[in-house]
């Protein structure tokens, strides 16, 4: 049974079809809205919505950029199908949408922004993969943006990999922003 959500993200009216079984199927997640309220897109951005779910962040980015500048991946076939339907519903059919377990099936590199609302109610193995492999896929000066309800591990991991992190806290959410300033991890990563 599908659900239709109407939302305004970054002053853009959007419509999403969702289904039970995907993250936040009844409304745009507050963390997603908070992250999008903080990120500023540049005309030349190449954006990855990592773990895109039904596509809210990637579609919002595609409405501000050329859809061809936006990539959306998820490891859930239902989420990928819904993201594709929602891209068509919101007239951004040129976005790149793919089924991928993290970065494993994605070959694209040179992203200037990676946006992610990771599954933070699990162990940290998914987030570790997203952060470490995300670093490798960013262009120099590119940024990873993550939103979670947990702070300490993410703050430490992003600082260790990127050499720094900025954090905004609001409504029990933490939005993290780290920039790639060098070609190798700032500190050796472990665990």
pLDDT at 1: 86
Q: How many CB atoms lie within 10 A of CB 18?
A: 25
Domains and CATH numbers, the chain: 29-179 (3.40.50.150)
> What is the Cα–Cα distance from 136 to 41, expressed in whole angstroms?
21
Q: Which two tokens stand for residue 35?
A: 């992250």
Question: What's the pTM?
Answer: 0.95
> What is the Cα–Cα distance from 65 to 57, expressed in whole angstroms?
12
Is the CB of residue 155 less than 8 Å from the CB of residue 71?
no
pLDDT digits (tens, 9 = 90+) for 68-121: 999 999 999 999 999 999 999 999 999 999 999 999 999 999 999 999 999 876
Is the CB of residue 59 less than 8 Å from the CB of residue 36?
no
Those residues of the chain that have pLDDT short of 50 are 191
pLDDT at 123: 80
pLDDT at 188: 64
pLDDT at 189: 58
pLDDT at 98: 98
Residue with tokens 């061809």: 68
Closest to 152 (Cα-Cα) out of 122, 178, 176: 176
DSSP 77: H
Is the CB of residue 54 less than 8 Å from the CB of residue 74?
no
Task: Give the pairing type, strands 138-148 and 173-179.
Answer: antiparallel
The C-alpha angle 38, 36, 131, rounded to 5 degrees, equals 90
> What is the Cα–Cα distance from 137 to 46, expressed in whole angstroms?
11
pLDDT at 176: 98
Q: Which two tokens stand for residue 138?
A: 């960013």
pLDDT at 119: 83
Is the CB of residue 27 less than 8 Å from the CB of residue 36?
no
> What is the Cα–Cα distance from 152 to 161, expressed in whole angstroms?
14
């Amino acid at each position: 049974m599908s659900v239709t959500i109407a939302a305004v993200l970054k002053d853009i009216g959007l419509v999403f079809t969702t289904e039970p079984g995907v993250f936040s199927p009844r409304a745009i997640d507050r963390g997603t809205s908070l992250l999008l309220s903080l990120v500023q897109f540049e005309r030349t951005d190449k954006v990855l919505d990592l773990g895109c779910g039904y596509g809210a962040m990637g579609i919002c980015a595609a409405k501000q950029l050329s859809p061809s500048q936006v990539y959306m991946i998820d490891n859930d076939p239902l989420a990928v199908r819904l993201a594709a339907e929602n891209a068509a519903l919101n007239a951004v059919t040129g976005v790149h949408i793919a089924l991928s377990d993290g970065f494993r099936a994605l070959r694209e590199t040179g992203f200037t922004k990676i946006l992610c609302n990771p599954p933070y109610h699990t162990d940290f193995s998914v987030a570790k993969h997203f952060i470490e492999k995300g670093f490798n896929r960013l262009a120099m000066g590119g940024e990873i943006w993550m939103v979670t309800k947990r702070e300490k591990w993410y703050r430490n991991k992003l600082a260790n990999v990127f050499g720094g992190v900025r954090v905004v806290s609001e409504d029990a959410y933490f939005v993290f922003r780290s920039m790639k300033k060098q070609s190798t991890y700032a500190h050796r990563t472990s665990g």
